[in-house]
Amino acid sequence: MGHDSVERVIAILDALARACDKRGSTLSPSENRLFAGVGQDSSTFEVKEKTKQVPHVLTEAKIREDEKRRKRSQSLSARRLDWNDFETLLLSRPQFDTVRTGELSS
């Protein structure tokens, strides 16, 4: 759950708790969900925030860092490597970042 959605989720869960109270049902936590029950009938509720993947965009600082690493890698390729050099050679950047959409679902 993203920080921006917390207040909305609290309002939703508060309304759900008040509605359950009016109807005489119980509402209690169950792992990462809420459990509502009346007599033998029960249901669980879970609120999630949808996410999406967006292309990863490098910052100017990361671009400069990558360029320094590339140059160091070229100089290392001209000599024998030791284990400490492999961090310089390995450059892994994510293709995508996961961002929260603000859209809630259950």
Q: Which domain holds residue 63?
A: 3-105
pLDDT beneath 50: ranges in the chain: none
Phi, psi for residue 62 in degrees, rounded to 5: -70, -35
pLDDT one-digit tens code per residue, 61-90: 888 887 887 777 766 666 665 655 555 555
Q: Are 91 and 78 in contact (CB under 8 A)?
A: no
Q: What is the pLDDT of residue 98?
A: 93
Q: What is the pLDDT of residue 104?
A: 87
Q: What is the pLDDT of residue 41?
A: 85
Distance, CA of 89 to CA of 94 (rounded, Å) = 16
| Tally of structural domains, the chain | 1
C-alpha 32, offset from chain centre = 16
Task: Give the DSSP H or E segment for 22.
Answer: helix 6-22
Exposed / middle / buried, residue 93 (Cβ in 10 Å: 0-12, 13-18, 19+): exposed
